[in-house]
Amino acid sequence: MIKCITLDDAPLALAQLNDFVSRVPFLELVGSSTNAFDAMELMAKNKVDLIYTDINMPDLNGLDFVKTLSYKPMIIFSTAYSEYAIEGFKVEAVDYLLKPYSFNEFLKSANKALELFEFKNQSDSGVKKEKLTHLFIKADLKIVNIALEKLEFIQSQGDYAKFFVEGSKSYMSLMSMKSLEEMLINTNIIRVHRSYFVNIKKINYIANQTIYIGTNQIPLGDSYKTTFLECIRQNGL
């Protein structure tokens, strides 16, 4: 359960925001406020994982409020002013809801927060399996041992997965992306698209929501973007 607070100086907007929160099963509203100073008190008294906040507010606006926090929960901004989007990105907001927004837009944003929340909990968990360094796959009528440090990326091709290995030929194996996702937890190989995994250590650069590894161009899917960027940030890339 993600514990959240809501902040908006417009009572009607705040009421709608609270209603949307109440309709999402994995969100728990622990407090609501029309000004940033009351929100600070709420945070002092409650564990908060996520803050929904307006930006353009009197006394202390949402951006400045977030910048004052020593501990920063996940942030989702909701505002009528699109020009604040870049500033929101600078404070590492999970998402940016432009008013007026629908419940579907709100839910999509909440799902991004859930994805990041689960990723952080998994990373912080004290119970971690031993880090995988090699992957054995059935390919070309034999069992092939692939060192993960040499693996560049994996591409889904129907019921098969194609493994691209540095300095070697590619290998095709009958494997699902879901099974690979479970196997590759706590490795440098992460999912970036419904059809791709990449080795973050092999990335040359990222531009226009495309990942470049050598001459290969790999799309970055919208639903994987938040987790991918968090992983990049944690690795200092």
pLDDT by residue (tens digit) across 63-117?
Answer: 888 888 867 789 999 887 666 555 555 567 888 888 899 999 999 999 999 988 8
- List pLDDT tens digits, range 7-49: 999 999 999 999 999 999 899 999 999 988 888 888 878 889 9
* Pair 204, 216: CB distance under 8 Å: no
Cα 138 to Cα 127: distance, rounded to the nearest angstrom: 30
State the pLDDT confidence band at 236, using cuts at 50, 70 and 90: low
Query: Would residue 129 count as lying in a domain?
Result: no
Same domain, 156 and 201: yes
- List pLDDT tens digits, range 157-198: 988 999 999 988 899 998 888 888 878 888 889 999 999 999
Same domain, 61 and 6: yes
* Pair 62, 77: CB distance under 8 Å: yes
pLDDT score recorded for residue 159? 85
Query: What is the extent of the structural domain holding 120?
Result: 2-124
Tell me which of 124, 145, 160 is where a domain ends.
124
Tell me which of 124, 152, 173 is where a domain ends.
124
Same domain, 19 and 110: yes
| Amino acid at site 118 | E
Same domain, 117 and 154: no
* Pair 77, 53: CB distance under 8 Å: yes
Same domain, 88 and 184: no
What are the residues facing 172 on neighbouring strands?
162
Tell me which of 124, 153, 169 is where a domain ends.
124
Same domain, 119 and 196: no
Cα 167 to Cα 162: distance, rounded to the nearest angstrom: 15
Look up the CATH number of the domain holding residue 219. Answer: 2.40.50.1020
Query: Would residue 151 count as lying in a domain?
Result: yes
- Host H or E run for residue 138: strand 134-139
Mean confidence (pLDDT) of the chain = 86
| Total count of domains within the chain | 2
pLDDT score recorded for residue 223? 86
Cα 63 to Cα 54: distance, rounded to the nearest angstrom: 9
Same domain, 39 and 89: yes
pLDDT score recorded for residue 82? 62
More confident residue, 102 or 59: 102
- List pLDDT tens digits, range 218-230: 999 988 888 888 8
pLDDT score recorded for residue 65? 85
pLDDT-above-70 percentage for the chain:
89
